Amino acid sequence: MRVNKLAKLLIRLLLPLILAMASVAAFGRETADLAPTSVPLSSESESEAMQREIEAFAYTQISARRAIAIAERRGPGAKVVDLSFDGSTSHPAYGVKVLLNGELWEGTIDASTGMSVGSGSTTPVSRLRQENQTTLAAFAAAGIDLSETIAIAEQYGSGKAVSAGLQHDGAKLVLLVVIVCDGSLKEIAVEPPARRSRGRKTSVPEKKWKRPSGGISRGASA
């Protein structure tokens, strides 16, 4: 999707909501699942940890959309459903989760070279929690991909995406994107249309972002 198609979207801005930041250690995710897990708190101060990862992201060579394109080369029909940046180590990287042929592959893309790190792991979707299966099914039916969503969020929020993922509350699907803008983080929620063929009526609320346990990430929750 060309970004100029944003003119056709119905965009709604909510008042920014400043949320408390949480301490973070290394990026922690539930393997081959869509929900983040808790990790031990870092001794590093909240503001220092946040600033360090934002600075690391500023020097990355691979954008979020580029990382998605690389991950989706795994095969025809591959779709990234979760992407998060981890700048807490000497080799910043993106954690990605890719849906392909009824399986969820979880791997790592080097943020400097674009190369895959390790072989990753694969889990059949049928083995995921029912909530996650519902989220993935809603995403497949929405007819919008994460890269397209990032393009919307980046233009709307005037920043660069650092992570993106899915959220389903049992009634509707929302695609969440965290962007870096002027040295701070903002979360933008993009709600896809019920039916793509009827044209997009996409709601895009924006708010200040809080840091969850685990690197700069905002993946799907269940």
Q: Say yes or no to pLDDT of 195 above 80.
A: no
Instruction: Between 195 and 188, name the one with better pLDDT.
Output: 188
Domain count, the chain: 1
pLDDT higher at 201 or 50: 50
Question: Considering the domain boundaries, does residue 15 fall inside one?
Answer: yes
Average pLDDT for 146-163: 94
- What CATH number is given to the structural domain containing 206? 3.10.450.40
Residue 128 reports pLDDT greater than 60: yes
pLDDT digits (tens, 9 = 90+) for 6-38: 322 323 232 222 222 222 222 222 333 454 333
Q: Does some domain include residue 141?
A: yes
Residue 206 pLDDT greater than 90, yes or no: no
HSE value, Cβ hemisphere, 13 Å, CA-based, for 113: 6
pLDDT at 40 over 70: no
Supply the Cα-derived Rg of the chain in whole angstroms.
16
Q: Which two tokens stand for residue 150?
A: 């990032």
Would you state the pLDDT for residue 200? 44
Residue 46 belongs to a domain: yes
Summarised one tens digit per residue, pLDDT across range 42-96 is: 455 777 877 888 999 999 999 999 999 999 999 999 999 999 999 988 899 999 9
pLDDT higher at 119 or 164: 164
51 lies in some domain:
yes
Tell me what the pLDDT averaged over the chain comes to.
74
CB-based contacts of 140, cutoff 8 Å, min separation 6: 79, 99
Asked if the structure places residue 212 within a domain, the reply is yes
- Does residue 61 fall inside a structural domain? yes
- Which structural domain range is residue 173 located in? 3-217
Closest to 28 in 3D by CA, of 101, 84, 102, 110:
84
Q: Can you list the alpha helix ranges (DSSP code H) found in 60-196?
A: 64-71, 130-142, 146-157
In this prediction, residue 214 carries a pLDDT of 41
- Please tell me the predicted confidence (pLDDT) of residue 112: 94
> 29: closest CA among 222, 154, 213?
213
Q: For residue 70, what pLDDT is reported?
A: 96
Judge whether 222 lies within some domain.
no
pLDDT of amino acid 57: 93
Is pTM beyond 0.75? Reply is no
What confidence tier does 205 reach under pLDDT thresholds 50, 70, 90? low
Residue 194 pLDDT greater than 90, yes or no? no
With tokens 């394109």, the residue in question is 69
Question: Is 103 inside a domain boundary?
Answer: yes
pLDDT confidence tier of residue 167, bands split at 50, 70 and 90: very high
